[in-house]
Amino acid sequence: MLLVFILLGIISIILLLLFLILISTLKIEIQDLKLSNMKNDKKASYIIKISLNLFNNIKWLWISLNNKKVKKLISKIPKIDIKTIENDFKLKDIKTLKKLHLKISKLKLDAILGLESPVTTAFLIAILSSGISIAIPHLIKKWDKESYKYNIQPIYNNQNLYKISLNCIIELKVVHIINVIYILVKKGKRDKNERTTSNRKPYAYSNE
């Protein structure tokens, strides 16, 4: 009888954890990210804090990573076949990603970018600045002038140069993440079945 109570207790704890995860918000906070390929300023540094929060405020599960820990994790991840991703992921899948309902509660970006061609540099800066200004109204939780600042400047030196400083907080509902994963997996299986069917010879099941 004791074993039954212990088993029920374990099951109850697992179900409670699953429920808490499902109703939580995943918060990814990027602190003091600095990337640069300029002289005397090439070392990357950043802190990434990942947490699960209830009602957006109660943090109950979290992990903190710096650039050294991230490098170790990346080194342990098996190599991903990019061609496979390109075949499976199509432009129309971007519509599915909108279901993530991603929100940015903080954005402070300073960037200096330059390419070998001054014309291309000017074009790139214009596209990035316009893209951010268009996207921000759809991604912010609540407008606050002090929480959303970005400054992208060109550097005309006939070289591929960049210097980026970023502080950012991204929030996603776990239930939305699960929903998108389910949709993409289901779509992948359907596409795979369609490719398999289309590759079959028309006489494969004939009685001849």
pLDDT, average across residues 6-11? 91
* C-alpha to C-alpha distances, 102 to 26, 77, 180, nearest whole angstrom: 10, 25, 12
pLDDT in the model for residue 115: 92
Q: CA torsion 87→134→46→118, rounded to 10°?
A: 80
Question: 9-36, pLDDT tens digit by residue?
Answer: 999 999 999 999 999 999 999 999 999 9
Domain membership flag for residue 124: yes
Order the strands of the 45-54 sheet from edge to edge. 58-66, 45-54, 25-36, 161-173, 103-114, 148-154
| Within-domain flag for 5 | no
Residue 80 lies in a domain: yes
Q: Is the pLDDT of residue 205 over 70?
A: no
The confidence score (pLDDT) of residue 208 equals: 46
Percent of the chain at pLDDT > 90 equals 46
Q: What is the pLDDT averaged over residues 97-115?
A: 91
Which range of residues forms the domain containing residue 146? 24-198
Per residue in 125-135, pLDDT (tens digit) is 999 999 999 98
SS (H, E, C) 37-75: CCCCCCCCEEEEEEEEEECCCEEEEEEEEEHHHHHHHHH
Mean pLDDT over all residues of the chain?
84
Interaxial angle between packed helices 2-22 and 174-199, expressed in degrees from 0 to 180 and rounded to the nearest 10: 90
Residues 88-113 have a mean pLDDT of 83
Task: Give per-residue pLDDT as tens, 132-166.
Answer: 999 888 898 777 778 899 999 999 988 899 999 99
In a domain, 137, yes or no: yes
pLDDT at 203 over 60: no
Q: How confident is the model at residue 57 (pLDDT cuts 50, 70, 90)?
A: confident
Q: Is residue 35 part of a domain?
A: yes
In a domain, 87, yes or no: yes
The answer to whether the CB of 140 falls within 8 A of the CB of 150 is no
Q: How many domains does the chain divide into? A: 1
Inside any domain, residue 72: yes
Tell me the pLDDT tens digit for each residue of 63-95: 999 888 888 887 777 776 656 655 666 666 677
Tokens representing 125? Answer: 């800066």
